[in-house]
Structures are given as C-alpha cells and as structure tokens.
Amino acid sequence: MIDHKGLRGIVATPIGPNWIVAVDQEFWICGVSGVVDVPHTSTMIVVGDVVWIEPEQDRTELGDLSANIVKVEPRITVLSRKAAGKAQKEQVLVANVEQLGIVMSATLPDYNKRLIDRYLIAADKGDLEPFIVINKMDLIDPQYYPDFEDDLHVYIEQLALPVIFLSAKSGTGMQQLQDILAGRSTLLTGPSGVGKSSMINRFTDARQRVGAISEKYEKGRHTTTASLVIPLPGGGIVVDSPGIREFGIFELEAGELPFYFEEFTPYAAHCKFAPCSHTHEPNCAVKAAVKAGEIDEERYVSYLNLKETL
C-alpha cells in the first residue's frame, strides 16, 4: 500500500510528457515517476482522471508548483474510441464526464436542430445527461422569445430536457447555467462561434491560466489540441474538447437509429412490420403519429436525414 498523504486533483491537460493537474483553482505541473497506484488496465492517465499528487519541495525550473502523481482513482465513466490498429483495444480519451452541454446560439450562427438531434444521440450513446444552451439571446428582440420556446417545444416539453436561454454577453441565464454545472463534470460541445468560451470566461480565468502555462512549456512545439478541464470556482468542472466527433459516440449503425428517438418507441410497437424503418412501409404507426402531430415533424426529418447518412 502506498501512503496517500497528498492532494486530490483532476488531470486538466497534458503538457509534454507531464500533466497539468487542477487542485481546486490551482494548477500543478505533475510528473509520473516511481510506483503509481492505478486501478484500471487501459490508458493509465487521461484528462478528467481524479488523481492524488505529492507536492515536491522545489518548483519547476519555470517557477510553477511541482508534484508527482502517485495514485489514480477508479473512473466513474469513460469516453473512448477504438485504438487504431489493435482490434478491440479501447483508447480512453476522457474520464468521469457526466453531462453533455449542447451549446448553440439564437443567431450568428442560427441554432441547428438537426445537429442538436445528433448530439442528443451522442449523449445517449455515451451515457451522458444532455442539456441545451441557446446563447446570444441579447441579439433577439424579447417579443420573439415565445417563438424560440415554441420552436424548441419538443426538447422542453416532450423530451423534458433542460433548455437554458442565455446571454454570455449580458449575463442573463448565467445563474441557471451555473446551477446545472455546479458540482458536476460537463463536456461542452457545439459549433464554433456560438460562445462556449465566452460563457466559461464569465465564471473563471482558468482557461487563460492553463493556456499561459502550456505556452511557457511548449514554446516552439505545435500547439496542443488535447481536451482541457476547466475547474469552476463553485465546484464542478467543464471539459472543453476540440471536437466530440473523435469520440466513438458519434458513430452510428442503421439498425440502432430508431432507438435513439425515444418518443418514437411507443408508436413503433404498433407498426405493421417489425422491424420497421418508418420510411416506406405501409401501416407505419410512427409515420401516422407524425401526420397526427403527435411526433414532432422536424424530429422525424432529423431521423430521415440521419438514416440517409448511414
């Protein structure tokens, strides 16, 4: 047994052969040497891992806090992809993510419901609890707010998802966002330009501080595209990832598609044919429900679009 008198932190991002570990709001440069207590056989340390570090007497040569990782805690969740080349071997990319925050903007760019549906499937596959953020509401005349709620009705009412209308610029909705992020680990995703960084920067300058550290140590080397953990001041973390497409959860097989449209399920049982693709078959209960307005037509369009891509 190793004696774990040390500090408990979260692996924020790789830095060369080492790691930046967040202990509350403080960042430590951590090496891995000697015996590390690791409970899993896959990738030893990944972003999001909860680790125990033992501080070193001296700071790094560039003056940063220095420590050694001595223990990795068991992972609650993992996002992974199959490692290239080696059949079936899984490569863990991020550990311990619980939620998927799907961030879009009200305009500039307009939100895209087809993409929201895709992300919802990814959340389902990755066992992440999804919520939706619509940012840049300050650019919308308040008289049109009800139209937005109408347009997103299927998510708010039928799928009962949290939908947060936000302005990272004015601060409207930031309390609601803070509440949903508090104490949890959230992967943020969405197209670029919707305001993900602006949102997070309202809470903390952690991204800038990690950026400055990385810059200092990786000068001249190509810039990192790794995932980054941003610790929030009130507890909880946000995982900022260059693109969730690289996670296996974005790959879909045709047969499983209908199961990711959960509101189709009660109807699908009444289709004449089983299995039914809900496209060309006669007496399809899903199509009938779309016609009757019981299934949202646009969700059905998403379904058809996705089906076409498989």
Any idea which residue has 């199961």 for tokens? Answer: 259
DSSP run (H or E) holding 290: helix 285-291
Note whether 56 and 18 are within 8 A (CB): no
CA distances (Å), 65 to each of 11, 20, 188, in order? 14, 10, 28
User: Who's near 193: CB < 8 A, 6+ residues apart?
Assistant: 105, 108, 109
| Interface residue with Zn ion, options 47, 128, 200, 286 (CB under 5 A) | 286
Nearer to ligand GDP among residue 6 and residue 195 (C-beta): 195
| Interface residue with Zn ion, options 15, 161, 200, 284 (CB under 5 A) | 284
Query: Between 240 and 279, how does the x/- string for binding to Zn ion read (CB under 5 A)?
Result: -------------------------------x----x-x-
Q: Specify the stretch interacting with ligand GDP by CB under 6 A; choose among 10-18, 132-140, 178-186, 258-266.
A: 132-140
Q: Which does 195 bind (CB under 5 to 8 A by kind): ligand GDP, Zn ion, none?
A: ligand GDP
Nearer to ligand GDP among residue 168 and residue 230 (C-beta): 168
Query: Between 136 and 155, how does the x/- string for binding to ligand GDP read (CB under 6 A)?
Result: x-xx----------------
CB of 54 to ligand GDP, least distance (A): 35
d(Cα 308, Cα 310) in Å, to the nearest integer? 6
Inter-helix orientation angle 196-203/206-217, to 10°: 100
Nearer to ligand GDP among residue 38 and residue 168 (C-beta): 168
CB of 214 to ligand GDP, least distance (A): 17
CB of 169 to ligand GDP, least distance (A): 4
Q: Which does 239 bind (CB under 5 to 8 A by kind): ligand GDP, Zn ion, none?
A: none
Note whether 34 and 68 are within 8 A (CB): yes
CB of 195 to ligand GDP, least distance (A): 3
Nearest to 27 by CA among 74, 67, 73: 67
Residues 159-218 interacting with ligand GDP (rule: CB under 6 A): 167-169, 192-198
Cβ-in-10-Å burial (0-12, 13-18, 19+) of 111 comes to: buried
CB of 304 to Zn ion, least distance (A): 12
Q: Which does 112 bind (CB under 5 to 8 A by kind): ligand GDP, Zn ion, none?
A: none
Q: Which does 271 bind (CB under 5 to 8 A by kind): ligand GDP, Zn ion, none?
A: Zn ion
Note whether 42 and 77 are within 8 A (CB): no
Note whether 272 and 288 are within 8 A (CB): no
Outline where 126-166 has alpha helix (H). Answer: 145-151, 153
CA–chain centroid gap for 302, Å, is 21
Q: Specify the stretch interacting with ligand GDP by CB under 6 A; choose among 37-45, 135-143, 250-258, 269-277.
A: 135-143
Query: What one-letter code names the amino acid at 102?
Result: I
| Binding positions for ligand GDP, rule: CB under 6 A | 135-136, 138-139, 167-169, 192-198
Residues that bind Zn ion (CB under 5 A): 271, 276, 278, 284, 286
